[in-house]
Copies of this chain bind each other. A is one copy, B any other.
């Protein structure tokens, strides 16, 4: 049987388990790690172990946290009354990069998707509802993805939260900055027109 040396094959197998990494890519990665100096290769292994040892999910918002609460939940300068709800923790970084948001976050851990077997009970919804009275939340910005699942989740959340007297908003849909009208798809343009604003 044509095979690599066992430790090489084992690492190829491990890399192949990662999302988006096929057998050929895994081979290339392993081959790279064989060629680089010892320290560089070990740094990757150590970073994996360190991350698993030190990173937990924030018990309040389910963002990544290397301390008991995540950096946003710990930050007293951030407004606890406005909460931005996202599907996954990396989405927080996208919102933060805008520099336009100074509230807190809540990570749902996904979106409602019956096809994937993800229902409302699989998301951190109860924990969000619990935060409303505790943190005195006045507005929930539902920044789930603009996909079918994200929209469904947004509607579900709205029905859940609005009756509690909390403002529920959703980031505007419209034409992306810098894009040509010619290449904007019909439904985006329709939403952009419907949501037009005074100049």
Counted per complex, copies of this chain come to 2
Residues of B contacting A90 in the complex (Cβ-Cβ under 8 angstroms):
4, 27, 31
State in angstroms the CA–CA spacing of A30 and B8 once bound together: 22
State in angstroms the CA–CA spacing of A46 and B50 once bound together: 13
Stretch in A12-20, A119-127, A153-161, A176-184 touching the partner: A12-20
> B4 near A93 (CB under 8 angstroms)?
yes
> B20 near A33 (CB under 8 angstroms)?
no
> A32 near B55 (CB under 8 angstroms)?
no
**Is A44 part of the binding interface, using a Cβ–Cβ cutoff of 8 Å?**
yes
State in angstroms the CA–CA spacing of A47 and B5 once bound together: 13
Residues of B contacting A29 in the complex (Cβ-Cβ under 8 angstroms):
18-21
CB of A69 to closest CB in B, whole Å: 11
CB of A152 to closest CB in B, whole Å: 22
Stretch in A35-43, A136-144, A164-172 touching the partner: A35-43
Residues of B contacting A25 in the complex (Cβ-Cβ under 8 angstroms):
20
Q: Which 3 A-B pairs have the closest CB atoms?
A: A2-B96, A45-B48, A5-B66
Known: A6-B66, A11-B51, A18-B32. 11 other contacts (CB 8 A): A2-B93, A2-B96, A2-B99, A5-B54, A7-B55, A10-B51, A11-B50, A18-B29, A20-B25, A20-B29, A33-B52
